[in-house]
Amino acid sequence: MKKSFYFLPILLLLSSACRKEESVPSPVLVVEGWIENGAAPVVMLSESIPIVDEQEITPSDMLDRLAKWAKVTVSDGSRTEVLTGMTDIEYFPPYIYTSGRMKGEVGKSYTLTVEYKDYKATATTTIPEPVPIDTVFVRQVKDSLCTAVCGFTDPLPKGNYYKVFTLTEGVDRHYHPSALAFSSDDQLEGYSEIFLYSTQRLMDYIDMPNIRQGDSLWVKLCTMDRKSFEYWSNFEMTLAGNIYNTPFVRSSLEGNVDGASGYWIGYGVEKEKLLDTSKYSGE
């Protein structure tokens, strides 16, 4: 078998193809992008890396596949902004496309267009109304490891979709998805809770939990549209049966980008809350 490796900082996609006359799968463009209300768009681009049998992929291989000279634009329907490519050590690979001249707004739709080599990729997303976090608290401590809770009030009408991201001070430079911390409001009504077990960091063993007592944990509750939620649900379910967060446990996921793999997501974020996990008074 031969495989194509798609590198994204949060998302590593893997698709496989049967060996046909020793051919190597053609590379594809991989897009990871998002825009939050009140924040600039962020887009990361790379090309897939062909993997042959047990070939090891190194960070250098990933850096070699960065798409650094793409034309990346974002339009809100009334204005179009060309994003600037720049080095940013907050991410790996340390290169993003962004612009300080555009900030996301609730209710607006944003169309992403990427032109690179012979690729042309497009996607559209909308930033939904954010939902505030009511509370975050430690739910349980065992052997200095914690599980926590993000509490919020699900508003009417129905049709809200949620995903929680976390950042541990002194450990993380940016937010990572919290394992299995996602939900639609099909079964929610009024005050609701999402459990936080583990932060998913690239290439890490997936401990459940891996939040430690004494951590200062920033918690961010994001709302999104249905297509984006389906993407995150498939991503989480793909990881659920695996013990390592590596490229080799990923499957090829259906995103919302035409002409490339990956995603372009609008997040509604109203506020973030800091959880001091040293403060725990029992169940």
For the chain, domains (ranges, CATH) are: 2-126 (2.60.40), 133-246+270-276 (2.60.40)
Q: Choose among 94, 66, 55: nearest CA to 7.
A: 66
pLDDT bin (cut points 50, 70, 90) of residue 248 is very low
The number of C-alpha atoms within 13 Å of 86 and in the hemisphere containing its C-beta is 10
Q: Is there a contact between 7 and 49 (Cβ–Cβ < 8 Å)?
A: yes
Digit-coded pLDDT (tens) for 177-234 = 888 889 999 888 899 999 998 777 665 566 667 788 888 999 999 999 999 999 888 8
Q: What is the pLDDT of residue 81?
A: 97
Mean pLDDT of 53-75: 75
Q: Choose among 8, 17, 33, 18: nearest CA to 263.
A: 33
Residue 100 has a CB neighbour count (10 Å cut-off) of 8
Secondary structure of residue 65 in the 3-state scheme = coil
- Residues 157 and 280: their CA atoms lie apart, in Å, by 35
pLDDT bin (cut points 50, 70, 90) of residue 104 is very high
Q: Angle CA(215)–CA(219)–CA(224) in degrees, nearest 5?
A: 155
Residue 52 in this model has a pLDDT that exceeds 70? no
Q: What is the pLDDT of residue 239?
A: 67
Q: What is the mean pLDDT of the chain?
A: 81
